[in-house]
Amino acid sequence: MSNKTGNNRVVGITVIVIGIIGLVYLWSTFLGKSKEQESNLDTTISSQPELQLNKDQDEVNEKVNFSGRTAASSGMTMEVLSMEPKDDNVSVEVRWQMTDWRDWKISKASLNIDGQEYNYAGYDLVEGLFHYRDGSACHVSMNHDVVEKECSPAMIEEAPYRVDRLKFKDVPHDFLQKSVILKITEVNSIPNESQYCEELDVDTIAKLMQAEFPGIELECFQDPGMNWSRIAENTPYTNNDKAIDTFRQLVGEALQGRIAGIWKFDLSD
């Protein structure tokens, strides 16, 4: 009888122990799932600002296209095609007419955002149709850093134009939600120091002078801080006053073009 009672006690204790172990297991499982859910919730919550930030950044870097944003001044028409933010910088594509064969460029511009002016940092050529002094014409486009050029006599009948990407730096990220005014105030044909001889093109000037001064030879020199051109020394026209005056006049026409005006564009939404 005592053995039977002892066995019953052992069985009872075993059942109780198993029950306790089961409860502990269930409790630990419940806690584990709760922590996992909390972790997932935290991850979801923490990812929401990141998603919003990425969305805002995409909106900041979105290219804005325009239609019909034109302005005319000093007999020249310009049109803004697009505006594209990139980090702290903004580029504005402008299509504009050129009056003749000279190497015209936009030399003065500013971007006004809510009354704050941001300076012009230069331009990159996108594409254009160019007339040249020798009577030829070519379409030039930029493929990354590669110049692609196609020339045809028929192009001289088409109006010359160019599309430039104007650059402005250190612009606030939220400028698209503000008042944005682009103002262009000057174009000129004054060459950059590193392009003096290329833009002057003394070979073409020599061809223009050949009829009056047969066999004339011209030289161009390009050094840092000092660029100049002249009739070649020890030639029949080196000291010919008429040839010198004609040469100076042709050089002045090529290098001293300047057109002032006000081409103003409201680029606000």
Residues 160, 211 within the same domain: no
- Domain count of the chain? 3
Residues 109, 173 within the same domain: yes
Q: Is the pLDDT of residue 131 over 70?
A: yes
Q: Residue 126: which CATH number?
A: 2.60.40
HSE on the CB side for 261, CA within 13 Å? Answer: 15
Residue 229 in domain: yes
pLDDT recorded at residue 211: 93
Residue 50 in domain: yes
Task: Indicate the pTM of the whole model.
Answer: 0.70
The two three-digit tokens of residue 240, written as one number: 């010919």
Give 71-114 pLDDT, tens digit per residue: 999 999 999 999 999 888 999 999 999 989 999 999 999 999 99
Give 52-61 pLDDT, tens digit per residue: 434 444 445 6
Confidence of residue 44 (pLDDT cuts 50, 70, 90): very low
Domain end: 10, 33, 60, which one? 60
Residue 105's φ and ψ, nearest 5 degrees, are: -150, 155
Residue 194 in domain: no
3-class state of residue 39 by DSSP: helix
Residue 93 in domain: yes
Residue 82: give the domain boundaries: 64-188+260-266
Residue 193 in domain: no
Question: How many C-beta atoms surround the C-beta of residue 213 within 10 A?
Answer: 19
pLDDT recorded at residue 48: 45
Domain end: 40, 60, 80, which one? 60
